[in-house]
Chain A
Amino acid sequence: MSVDTKRHAAVVNRVDPLEPVPVLVGRPDDRELNQTLFAPVWAKTRKGWLVLFALALALTGLLFTAIGYTFAVGIGAWGNNIPVAWAYGIVNFVWWIGIGHAGTLISAILLLFQQKWRTSINRFAEAMTLFAVIQALLFPLIHLGRPWFAFWLFPYPSTLGVWPNFKSPLLWDVFAVSTYFTASLLFWYVGLLPDLAALRDSSKSHAKRVVYGIFSLGWRGSARHWRHYRIAYLLLAGLCTPLVLSVHTIVSFDFAVSQLPGWHTTIFPPYFVAGAIFSGFAMVLTLIIPARKAFGFEHVITEKHLENMAKVLLATGLMVAYGYLSEHFIAWYSGNKYEQFVFWNRANGPYAPVYLLMLFCNVLVPQIFWSGRARRSIWVLWIASILVNVGMWCERFVIIVTSLHRDFLPSSWAIFKPTVVDWSILIGTIGFFGLLFLLFLRFVPSVSASEVKELRRELEHEAAPPHPVERAAR
C-alpha cells in the first residue's frame, strides 16, 4: 500500500532552503501511517520474501553445519596456522562488530543531538546492529580451541579458584561486547514498545493479539507511560552513547595492546571507531535501499536520509583514510624496521591484492560522495555501500592476517589459506544475518510508527503559522 503524496502537496508549501529534501514526504495522518508502516506485518507473506527467506535459511544451515564440523574436528578445520593463529574467525568478528555500530550511533547519538532524520531509520539500524552483534558474538565462542570451556572467560566464583586474567584485552572484549549487546537489545526493545502495542490493538486474530500483547508489556499509551518511556529511552541513549565509542575501542585493544608490528599502534581506537561507523552506515544503506523500495517507504525514508548517510560515509571514510596514512607515516617515522617491513609487506607481499582492494573500496569509492548527484543516486549509493562493506572486511583481513603472517623471525613466516569451512562460516553469517533481518521485517514494524507520527506533528508545528500569543511576544 502506498500513500498518495500529491494529496498533501499543498500542505507542504514551505521548502527550507537549507533542507531542500524533506525528511517526510507529504503529511500522512496517523491512520495512513499505521496502514503503511504496519502493512508488511499484516500483509500476506510475499513470494519475494519467501525466496529470500529460503536462501537465508539455507545459508544459515551452512553456517551451523560449518560450526558443527569445526566443533567436531577442531580449529584445524579452518586455515589457521602458526603464525597466523587468528584469521577469518577474528576478521569476521571485527567486521560484524563494526557493522553493529551504526544502529546505536543513529539511535542514541543522533537522538541526543536531536537530529530529525534519524527517526525513520533508527529502528532499522538498531535491528541491524542487534543482528550484526549476534553474528559477531558467535566468533569468540567458535574460534576457541575448546569452546566447551568458554564460560571460563567470565569472572564467576569457580571451585577451580582461578579468575580470568583481567590484564587480557580478550577479557575486556567479553565485557564490552556483551554489555553492548545487552544495551542495544534493551534500547531496541524499549523503542519498539509503542508499536508493539499498536500492533496488538490492530491485530485481527486472537493469537496475534496475545503474542503482541505479551511483548508490548501492557503498554496503554497513557501519559504516565509516555513519560516513563521518554526517560527510559533517553537514559538508554545516554548509556549507549559511550558504548558506541568503547566497544570498538576495546576490540581494537585486542590488537593495539599486543606487541606485534602492525597491531601495536596507538591510533587503533579512534581509527577502529571511525571504521566501524563507516561500515555500519554502509550496511544500513545496503539493506535500507532495497527495503524501502519493496515496502514503499519512500515517503518516510526519503532521499534526505540517504543523502545524510552518504555524507557520513564520506566523513568517516576520510577518517579511515587518515588512519591508513597515519599508520604508514608513523611506521616510516619510527625508524623501526620491523614496523616498516609490515607496511611494506602489505603493499608488496603475497596479500597485496587484498590491500589494494581495501584502499580502493575504503579510500577511493567514498570520494564519489563529494558529488551531490552521486549522493542522491540510489544505484551509486547502493553499489558504493556494498563496496565499502567489502573494503572494510579487507581492512580487517589486512590488519590481522598480513601482520601475523610475517612478523619478527623470518624463519616462522608462512602463508594463510582459507578453507571451505572458513568461507562457509563467512557466507553463513551473512545468511544468518539476513534470516534474522527478514524475520524482523516480517513481524515487527521496521520503521517506528510512533516516532514518525511524532515527527509529523513536530513538522506540522514548525510549518504552521506562529501562535497569536507568540506573535504578540515578538
Chain B
Amino acid sequence: MSSVKRIGLPVVGQDGPDDAPDCRGADGRRHWRSLEEWSEGAAAAKAEFPRGAAFLPEALTRRGFLQMLGASAALAGVAACRPPRQEIHAYVRHPEQALFPGNPVPYATALARHGHAVGLLVTTVDGRPIKVEGNPDHPESLGASGRLEQATILDLYDPRRIEGFTARKQPKAYRTLLRELATVAATHEKDGGARLRFLTGATGSPLLLDLRRRISERFPRARFHAYESLTEEATADGARLAFGRALDTRLHLDGARIVLALDADFLSDGPSALRLAREFAAHRTPGPDMSRLYVAEAHLSTTGAAADHRFRMKPSEVLGFARQVAAALASSQGLGDLARIAGDAKPTREASAVAEDLARHRGASLVIAGPRQPAAVHAIAHAMNAALGNAGKTVDYAAPPTEEPAGPRQLAALAKDLAAGAVETLVITAWNPVYTAPADVDLEALLTKVPDVLYLAYRPDETSARATWVIGESHPFETWGDARAHDGTVSIVQPLVQPLLESISEVELLAAFLGEAEKGAYQLVQDFWRARSGAGAAFAARWGTWLAKGVVEGTAAKGEAPTVRFADVAGAAGQPPPKAEGLEASFVVDKLDDGRFAENAWLLELPDPITTISWDNAAMVSPRTAQELGVETGTRVELRLRGRKVDAPVFVAPGHADGVVTLPLGWGREAAGPTATNVGFDAGALRGSQAAWIEPGLALAPFGKRKHKLVQTQEHFSMEGRDLALSFDARAWEEEGPKRLEHLRGAVNAMYSPFGYDKQAFKWGMGIDLAKCTGCNGCVVACQAENNIAVVGKAQVARSREMHWLRVDRYFSGPPENPEVVSQPLMCVHCEAAPCEYVCPVNATVHSDEGLNEMVYNRCVGTRYCSNNCPYKVRRFNFLEYQKGKAPLEKLRMNPDVTVRYRGVMEKCTYCVQRIERARIAVRASGQNKIPDGELQTACQQACPSQAIVFGNLADPESRVSKMHQDERRYDLLHFLGTRPRTAYLVRIRNPNPALSA
C-alpha cells in the first residue's frame, strides 16, 4: 500500500501533513533524496519542489533563464499522470494490481450533482482515469451509470480547464493564495462577517455542510446562499404543505404495479433516475406482476415514451388532471380524504380509469409529481399516496440535508444584499451563476458592486469574466471529499489522480476561511469522519472499507411515512390556476443539465433521445400548434416572455401538447469554449425567478427567410410497415404474440452448413430487451468512452457521418399527436453469415472462431463496400481524420486497450473485444477456462440502468444471454436475410389499461 504512495512524486496541491513525517517505503526503510533531507528530515524534502515553482521568478537573469531551460528539459519527462499521493483503495481487486503497468484498476468514488451523489467505479490505467462505471454497492447506482456520469470523464481532460489561481489579475501560487485567502477572511472577522457572502450550489456533503456550519460560527453574520437553476423549491414546498416540514420524497418502484407520473421524467432525470430505471424495468416483462405506467406531460420525455398510457396536456393542466384523479378516487373508490382536495373537479374517462387502477392496487401503486410542477401537485401526490396506502411501501420520506432548497429564493435574498452594496466579499462555489441566474436577477451587474468576487471555476465562463479572483477548481475525480446520495447514503469521494492542473476543491476553499486549508482536503475529510465515527485503530480499517466499497455503511436515512395534512393540501390545491392567454413556456432539463455539460463534446453530439437532434436545442411545439403559428422545423422565431426575448429555431415534435413551447435549458452559452459558444439558444434568458419552470404568456413570432439547420442523427421515424422494433400489447401477446414471431427467428436455409462452434469454449452473443430499454442513450456515451470514438461536429453529423458505434433507433407509430415510441439500441449484431465479410477485397473484416465479426483496422483500405452491404448500417467510416489535433491533455483520456482509428478506415462495434480479452487473460492466469457469466460485461451493458442489454457466452446454456436467446419474445432483426445475427431482440410489451384501450 505504501508503495502506491512511493509512486507519487512531489506534486502540487494536496500534501497532507500526515504524509510529511512518513517517508518510509514498502520495505519499511526511510528513504532520502538529498543530504539535506537526510540531515533535516522531511521538512527539507517538502521544499524540494516549492510552491510556485511553475512560475517564472520575477527578476530573471540570462543565467537564471538558461538554468531553468536546462532544468526544464531534464525534467520534461517527469511530467506524467500520477496516482494520488494518499492511500486510495481499489474496488474489489487488490491494489497491488495497480502497480502493474497497463492494468486497469477500478476505484470507488462518488459524483455529486445538485447535492445528490451517485456512486461510481472509475477505471484507472497507469494513473489515468479512463472510464466511469456505476458502483454496484451504491444504492442510487446499483452498478449503472447515466450519460452525464459517463461524460464526466471527458471534462477531466478538457484543455480549457483553468490552471492555477488569479487574484485581481495577478497569478498566485498555491501557498500565496491560501495566505491571501486567510488575510481576506481575517478582515471579515471584526464585524462577524457582515459583509461576507457565499453563493454555493446545493449540497448534501456532510463535510461541506460541517465547514459551512463552522464558518458560520466564526463569522456569525456571514450568509450562505444556495442556488440551483434546476430548482426543486416546488418539491420542497409541496412536502412542507403536505407534512408541515421539509422532507425528501423517496420512490420505490419495486413494489409499485400502477404508477402515475405527473409531469415527472423520473427515468432519466432526478437524483434516483438510475435506480428507478432499474426498478421500473424489472417489472416490464409479461406476467402477473407487470407494471402499468401512466404519464401526464406536455413534451414527449423518455418516461412518456416508456408509458403504457400517455396523457398529453399542458404543464399547467397537470394540476387539474391530478385533481380529477383525486376526485375519482374520492367519489368512486371511497377515499374520502381526497374529496376536499378534488374540490369541484369532474373526473374524465381517463382520470376515472387511472383512479380505478390505482385503487385496485392500494399499497402497490405510486403517484409521482415532477419537480417542474407547482407545490400543489406535489401535495396532491403525497395525499393520494397516503390515501392509497402507498406511503411507507412504494414511497417514504426522510429529512433532507438542508432545510431550505437551493433556488431562486435564496438567490433573491443575496441579490438584495448585493444591490444594497452590503457585500464586500462574495465567494461563489455555485456553477456559473451569471449564466444560470433567472433573467430578472442581473447578477452580472450586481457583481460589479462587490469589491471581491471569489469564484471557484472549472473553466473560464460568464461568471469568471466578472470575478476578481478566479480560483481553478479541481475535477471531482481529483479531490477528496464526501457526498450524500438521495437516500442519505454517504460515500467518501476519493481522487483517482492528482490534479492534472493546479487547482483546489470547494472543501479547501471553504477551509481557507477557517484557516485550515493547509491541512488539505484529505486531512479535512478524514478528521471529520474520524470525529464522527470515533478514532482509534478501528477507524483505519473502517476508513479502508469505506474507500474500497464506495459507501459509508449505515448512513442511509431511515424512511418514515408521516401523516398528511389533508386540510392544508386542500387549501392550496382547491382552486385551479386561472386560464392564461398565449402560449405556455415550459422549461425542461436535457442532456446538458443546467449548462455545466455544455462544453462536453460527447453530450453535444449525443442525439436527443426523442428528437435525435444533435448539437442544438430547439423550441419544441406540437404539429398542430406549429400549423397555427405558421412555423415548421427549422423556422427561426423570436420568443417573448414578459419583455424578455430570445431567438430560437423551432422543432415540430410529435407527441407534444398543443399550446405549449418546450424550451430546453443549458444551451446558448456566450463565454464558453469554441465547442459550445453559441451552440443552441439560451432558454434561461426567458426564465423569471417567480415561475422557474412553467409560465404562460409566451409570444412566438417567426422571422427571417433562412432556416436554422437542425441536424438529426435519425431523420425518418416510421418503420414503413417493416418488422424492426416490435411491440405488442400484453393481451395481444398472450393470445397470439409468440406465433407472430415465428417467421422472425429460427433456422434459415443456407447453402453451406453453418460452423458448429462445438469445440469452442466461447460463443459470444447478446440479447437486448426492448421491454426494458427506456432509450436514455447512456449506453451510447458509455460506448464512446470505452472505445475512443471520435466526436465529429455538427457539420459532419449533418452529412450523416456521426461515428457512434451504438445508436438508439427511435420509431414512432400511431397518430403524430400522441405516438407510441419504441427505442431500439442497435450496434453491430455480429452476423453469423455476415454480408460485410465476403465483400471486403482485402480480408479486413473477418469472423473469429468465437463468432465475433472482427474489424482489422490495420488491414482496412477503406473501400466502404462492407458498409454498403451491411443491412443494419452499423459500420462507421473515418471520412476525415477525426482524431486529429488533440491537446496533450485530451490524449490522456484514451482507453489504451482500444486502437485510435486513422482516417480512411472502417470501424464498428466489436462487442468490446478488449474486455473479452482482458477477461480471458485473467481467467487463464488463474488456471481456469471458463469466464463466469456476468463477470464480463460490454460497456453498454454495464452502463445500462435498466439492464436491457445482456452479453455473454452462448456456448453456456445456463448463461443469461443463452436464456434470452431462448425466450419466447426473442426475434432477429431482418431475419429473412439469413444473416443470423448474434444479437437477439426481445419484443417490447405494453400493458395498456383495457378500460382505456377499448
Contact = CB atoms under 8 A, between A and B. Distances in A.
Interface of A: 73-76, 79-86, 143-147, 149-150, 152-153, 160, 162-165, 167-171, 174, 254, 257-260, 337-338, 341, 404, 406-415, 417
Contact of A164 (B809, B841, B867, B902): B841
A83 B800 contact: yes
Contact of B868 (A75, A163, A174, A258): A258
A341 B863 contact: no
A82 B828 CA distance: 14
B977 interface: yes
Given A410-B720, A411-B714, A174 B841 contact: yes
A145 B881 contact: no
The 10 A-B residue pairs with the shortest CB-CB distance, nearest first, are A145-B862, A145-B904, A76-B879, A76-B880, A85-B864, A411-B809, A412-B873, A414-B800, A81-B800, A146-B904
Nearest to A174: B841
Given A85-B864, A152-B842, 11 more contacts: A76-B796, A85-B867, A146-B902, A149-B842, A152-B861, A165-B840, A170-B841, A174-B841, A259-B871, A409-B809, A411-B809
In this complex, the member of A73, A150, A165, A407 whose beta carbon has the largest number of chain B beta carbons within 10 angstroms is: A165
A389 to B, nearest CB: 26
B843 to A, nearest CB: 4
Contacts of A411: 714, 716, 724, 807, 809-811, 824, 826
Contacts of A170: 839, 841, 863, 865
B860 interface: yes
B859 interface: yes
Given A149-B861, A168-B839, A168-B865, A85 B871 contact: no
26 contacts: A73-B880, A73-B881, A76-B801, A76-B903, A83-B867, A83-B873, A145-B877, A145-B904, A146-B861, A147-B861, A152-B861, A153-B861, A162-B843, A162-B859, A163-B843, A165-B840, A171-B841, A174-B841, A254-B865, A259-B835, A407-B873, A408-B873, A410-B717, A410-B720, A411-B810, A417-B799
B842 A165 contact: yes
Contacts, number: 167
Contacts of A167: 838-839
B875 interface: yes
B409 interface: no
B592 to A, nearest CB: 24
Contacts of B862: 75, 144-146
A150 B716 CA distance: 36
B857 to A, nearest CB: 10
B974 interface: yes
Nearest to A259: B835
Contacts of B865: 85-86, 168, 170, 254, 258
Interface in B703-732: 714-722, 724
Nearest to A86: B868
A143 B863 contact: yes
A153 B844 CA distance: 11
B869 A260 contact: yes
B977 A259 contact: yes
Nearest to B876: A82
B552 interface: no
A308 B204 CA distance: 90
Best-surrounded residue of B841, B902, B903 (most CB of chain A within 10 A): B841
Given A81-B801, A82-B801, A168-B838, A407 B863 contact: no
Contacts of B211: none
A259 B843 contact: no
Given A144-B904, A164-B842, A79 B799 contact: yes
A145 B863 contact: yes
B905 interface: yes
Contact of B974 (A79, A81, A408): A408
Tell me which of A146, A174, A409 has the highest count of chain B C-beta atoms within 10 A of its own C-beta. Answer: A409
Most buried by A among B809, B868, B974: B868
Contacts of A413: 715-716
Contacts of B715: 413-414
Contacts of A254: 865
Interface in B782-820: 796, 799-801, 807, 809-811
A405 to B, nearest CB: 9
For B826, B840, B904, which residue has the most chain A Cβ atoms within 10 angstroms? Answer: B904
Interface residues of B, number: 54
B805 to A, nearest CB: 12
Given A153-B841, A165-B838, A80 B871 contact: no
Contacts of A163: 843
Contacts of B716: 406, 410-411, 413
Contacts of A415: 800
Contacts of B860: 145-146
B839 A145 contact: no
Nearest to A403: B868
B796 to A, nearest CB: 7
B656 to A, nearest CB: 21
Given A74-B904, A411-B809, A164 B868 contact: no
B872 interface: yes
Contacts of A79: 799
A248 B716 CA distance: 35
B941 interface: no
Contacts of A144: 861-863, 904
B906 interface: yes
Given A81-B799, A411-B807, A74 B871 contact: no
A414 B263 CA distance: 34
Given A74-B879, A145-B904, A337-B721, A153 B842 contact: yes
A143 to B, nearest CB: 7
Contacts of A74: 878-881, 903-904
Contacts of B880: 73-74, 76
Given A81-B799, A86-B868, A145-B906, A409 B721 contact: no
Contacts of A152: 842, 859, 861
Contacts of B904: 74-75, 144-146
A454 B309 CA distance: 88
A409 B859 contact: no
Contacts of B859: 152, 160, 162
Given A144-B863, A259-B835, A409-B873, A165 B841 contact: yes
Nearest to B979: A259
A329 to B, nearest CB: 21
Contact of A82 (B800, B881, B902): B800
Contacts of A150: 861
A147 B864 CA distance: 13
A168 B826 CA distance: 26
Contacts of A169: 839
Nearest to A163: B843
B903 A145 contact: yes
A259 B833 CA distance: 12
Contacts of B841: 153, 164-165, 168, 170-171, 174
A410 B717 CA distance: 7
A144 B876 CA distance: 15
A338 B723 CA distance: 11
